[in-house]
Structure 1
Amino acid sequence: MTVIGINTTALMMLLRVSAMYSRKPMVIGGVAIAFGIEFGVNAWLLSHGIAVIHQRPIHACTMIFDGSVKGISSASAWLPLLYDTIVLILTLKRTLGPVRNKTAGKIAHVLLRDGILYYRLVTRLFIP
């Protein structure tokens, strides 16, 4: 469920970048490649997950990996953060100038506001 949730939002961010950079296929392609790497590594790591033993009334799971992926297991945290940072930088690059110059429309304001809010919420999950 974690991989599905993270990558569903990552795909939505890819669609957002695609809308903002519709005339720059290299930018969209670069973000798509970053998304593919994140998704592929997380899917591969998920295939190395192990069960977590809980007390009887608790039914939960956690992304715990077997010892064979010890060196790369932290990628399940930093790859989504890297991807979201790339999306934030591209959002700022596209919207910040027009918003500052007061030439931006309502959509640019919303993209900027929501992009910063999303990034703040995501980084709070990773950085206590």
Structure 2
Amino acid sequence: MAHIRITSYGTGHDDNPAAPDPVVVDTTALHNPPDDPAVRATLTQLTGRHPDVAAYVLATPGAHNLLDTARRDIEQRIVRGEQHIDVHVHCYGGRHRSVAIAELLAADLSVLDDYVHTHHRHINHPILPARTPLLTDQR
């Protein structure tokens, strides 16, 4: 039986979790409620645990493939006999995309005969301001 620890977090908080050789799931390419004026007012104050946020994130093209790839990576480690598997799921703020994908991944893995624990590192942190692109000196 493997112990699977799924940690969601936001890279914008500059305190990423540490673990030897984690499975890393980058959700930054998925739809983000704070960046979308059409849903900002309704979804931003919720978290990725809310079904509406999860559905919004999963509606991104490629979201299901991201989940499938992560699940296959984890299952391969289980087959190799790894007893402790860390999974790091990240986005920028750690409240919406990473949480939604971590929860969905945990639900998918719960059918295995393994212990799955989920920790959301930044779910209760304030929403981070949008990143601004670096300006280049064009003299």
TM above 0.5, yes or no, is no
Whichever of the two has the greater Rg, that structure is 1
With normalisation by structure 2, the TM-score equals 0.30
Q: Give the structure with the larger helix fraction.
A: 1
Q: Which has the higher contact order (CA 8 A, sep 6+)?
A: 2
With normalisation by structure 1, the TM-score equals 0.32
